[in-house]
Amino acid sequence: MAAKSAKQGKKDQKAVACGDDGKEVSMAAIANLLEEHRAALSADFKITVSTLETVDQIQTTVVDLESRSRRNNIRIIGLPESTEGPRPSVFFSELLAEVFGDGVLESPPECDRAHRSLSDKPKPGQRPRPVIVRLHRFQQKEKIIREIIMAGWTVYVAMASRSP
C-alpha cells in the first residue's frame, strides 16, 4: 500500500496543469513557487513582528520620559491671570521663596519654566487657568509639597492649591 501511494505521489508530481496563459506547468514547479511564496511571507512576517517590538519599546521609552519630565512639576490653581508678568519663571521662583520663607527654602528655587496650562484664556468672572511650574531640583519640589501638606493646604498628586 505504501508503494502504491509513493507511485501516486510521483504521478502527482508529473501531472501537468495549464496556467492562465495556456502554458503547461508541472506540479513540482507549482510546489516550488508555493515554497518561495511561503518563505517570502515568513520573512515579511518576521520583519513585521520585529518592527512591532521596536515600536512597542519606543512607545514605552516615550511614556517613561514623559513621566520623568513631569516629576518636578507643581501645579498652582486659583492664581489670577497675568499676575506673573513677562518673566513667569523669575516671578514664581520669588513667589515660592516668599511664601515658604527661609525655614523651608534656603534660597529661591530654580524654576526651569513656568506657564499657564494650554487652554483658552478665560473670560472675566471665569476660573483662571492653572500655572505649571517646573522646578530644577526634585528635592526642592519635595520640600515644598511637604510644607504644603503640613500647612493644611489641598494637595493632589504633584499638584497643589490653597484650600478655601
Query: Domain residue spans in the chain?
Result: 2-67, 72-161
Arithmetic mean of pLDDT, 94-123: 86
State residue 76's pLDDT score. 87
Q: How far apart are the first and last CA of the chain?
A: 93
CATH assignment of 72-161?
Answer: 3.30.70.1820
Grid cell of 122 as nine digits: 478665560
Q: How much is the pTM? A: 0.58
Report whether 68 contacts 127 (CB < 8 A): no
State the DSSP H helix or E strand holding residue 134, giving kind and residue range, or none if neither: strand 131-135
Q: Within a 10 A sphere around the Cβ of 110, how many other Cβ atoms? A: 12
